[in-house]
Amino acid sequence: MDLYDSPEEATFRADVRAWLAEHAPRHVANGTGAGGKSAQAVAMPDHVAAARRWQRTLYDGGWAGITLPAEYGGRGGTAIQQVIFNEEQARFGINSGPLLIGLQMVIPTLLAHGSDAQRAAHVDPILRGEELWCQLFSEPGAGSDLASLGTRAVVDGDEYVVNGQKVWNSFAQVADYGILLARTDPSLPKHKGITYFIVPMDTPGFDIRPLRQITGIAHFNEVFMTDVRIPADNVVGEVDAGWPVARTTLGSERAMISGGSSGSSTTRDDIIALAKTRGVEVDPSVRQGIAEAYARISILEYLGFRLRTALSRGEMPGQEASVMKLAFSQNAARTGDLVMEIMGADGMLWGEDAIDHSRWQNYFLGQYAVRIGGGTDEVQRNIIAEQVLGLPRELVDNRGAPWNEQSKS
């Protein structure tokens, strides 16, 4: 395991650090990064606009799409260079927020499965911050078991007509495009007969309803589709073969979440500083909790080193993303409990009345989105058991039966 940068990596890190020191602070002050503000303190339109500005700054500076070929507007760099940039960017508490679905989930999927026309149409605009994407996968009856989805897409000439409902769709109310899974052949087993679509979110027939979360913000949505018409050219991959395409997206999502890009994170120093501020740093229970948090965060760092080592050697990681995602979400849960213990009765305060503009209350409440989004903890354990440890899959009598028969059972 390599714990240190190579000379080339150290030079790259120094260049990144110098550029960020010059450009990042003004964007953090404008609300793109954490900036000491709670999630509610920045209105959604302002949050989106700030994210677009920061992404455009990255693009103009040559730091957008570090690993992408120059023909797609990227830098043509290595995966380890992207990791280094992410590490340095995190020091400023800044990222591209609502644009990350397009940047870290859509682009890898289009590069792996999309047509030349789809890549030409979308990759560069995503990198410039001009296109914001949402994910139309989960349904009320198809969350952890996503392959059981029932949204239908019926061919009509050179278009598909889509009817159904999706839920937990982050930023759908402000998205320009969506990636959509719909069932095109219900007579096939549930993992087959699914097709992956690109759909403009201003297409007639969408009814997007924001869902207010426990933190008070509403970046999740439920989306109803009534006779939404999608051109056949918007199919990604092959018709009825969308599940492998979706797995690429889902793997990218797990890596994004485990890397902390889409969930709240905190450091050992943050926790210790909070305990000192509250005057409980000598409390035995708090000290034990901090020690356990120290160990968990250290484990996450070393899991990250394993990932960095593979990337530095030019190796693409396998199921490490599921291991890291599970460790990340479990740390969020246990550390959330710890910071509430440290806060004491003040943990019940909210908004401007709370310490650090409700940062710690948001951390505690935000853990649930992290533990569910990108596949629940239980889903990650199944993936690790079956694909990493080689344990037998759960026995299901109707695994190969047509979807329309399974749905009736």
Residue 39 has pLDDT above 50, yes or no: no
Residue 111 confidence (pLDDT)? 93
pLDDT digit string (tens) for 178-203? 999 999 999 999 999 999 999 999 99
Q: Tell me what percent of the residues of the chain surpass a pLDDT of 90.
A: 56
**At 20, which CATH number?**
1.10.540
Residue 21's contacts (CB-CB under 8 Å, 6 or more residues apart) are none
Same domain, 209 and 277: no
Same domain, 172 and 72: no
Residue 259 confidence (pLDDT)? 58
- Which tokens hold the place of 392? 């037998």
In-domain check, residue 170 = yes
Q: Does residue 317 or residue 378 have the better pLDDT?
A: 378
Q: How many CB atoms lie within 10 A of CB 36?
A: 11
Q: Does residue 290 or residue 399 have the better pLDDT?
A: 290
Residue 153 confidence (pLDDT)? 98
- For residue 115, the one-letter residue type is S
Same domain, 271 and 378: yes
Average pLDDT, the chain: 87
The residue range of the domain holding 55 is 7-95
Same domain, 185 and 270: no
Residue 164 has pLDDT above 60, yes or no: yes
Please give the tally of structural domains in the chain.
Answer: 3
**Going by DSSP bridges, is the β-strand pair 177-183/133-136 parallel, antiparallel, or unpaired?**
parallel
pLDDT digit string (tens) for 236-255? 999 999 999 999 998 888 77
In-domain check, residue 252 = no
Would you say 108 and 316 are in contact if contact means Cβ atoms under 8 Å apart?
no
Angle between the N-to-C axes of helices 359-372 and 320-343, in degrees from 0 to 180, rounded to the nearest 10? 150
Q: Which residues are catalytic?
A: 253
Distance CA 113, CA 94 (A): 30
Same domain, 379 and 278: yes
pLDDT digit string (tens) for 333-351? 999 999 999 999 999 998 8
Residue 34 has pLDDT above 50, yes or no: no
- Split at pLDDT 50, 70, 90, the class of 263 is very low
Distance CA 147, CA 138 (A): 9
Residue 308 has pLDDT above 80, yes or no: no
Same domain, 225 and 295: no
Would you say 274 and 360 are in contact if contact means Cβ atoms under 8 Å apart?
yes
- Split at pLDDT 50, 70, 90, the class of 1 is low
- Split at pLDDT 50, 70, 90, the class of 27 is confident
Same domain, 208 and 298: no
pLDDT digit string (tens) for 86-132? 889 988 888 898 999 999 999 999 999 999 999 999 999 999 999 99
Same domain, 352 and 288: yes
Same domain, 322 and 363: yes
pTM of the predicted model as reported, rounded to 2 decimal places: 0.85
Distance CA 364, CA 232 (A): 44
Computed over its alpha carbons, how large is the radius of gyration of the chain? 22
- Split at pLDDT 50, 70, 90, the class of 330 is very high
Dihedral sign, CA of 216, 221, 222, 225? positive
Nearest CA to 303 out of 366, 369, 384 is that of 384
Same domain, 187 and 268: no
- Split at pLDDT 50, 70, 90, the class of 33 is low
- Residues facing 156 on adjacent strands: 159
Same domain, 153 and 267: no
Same domain, 270 and 372: yes
SS3 3: coil
Residue 272 has pLDDT above 70, yes or no: yes
**At 174, which CATH number?**
2.40.110.10
Distance CA 398, CA 409 (A): 9
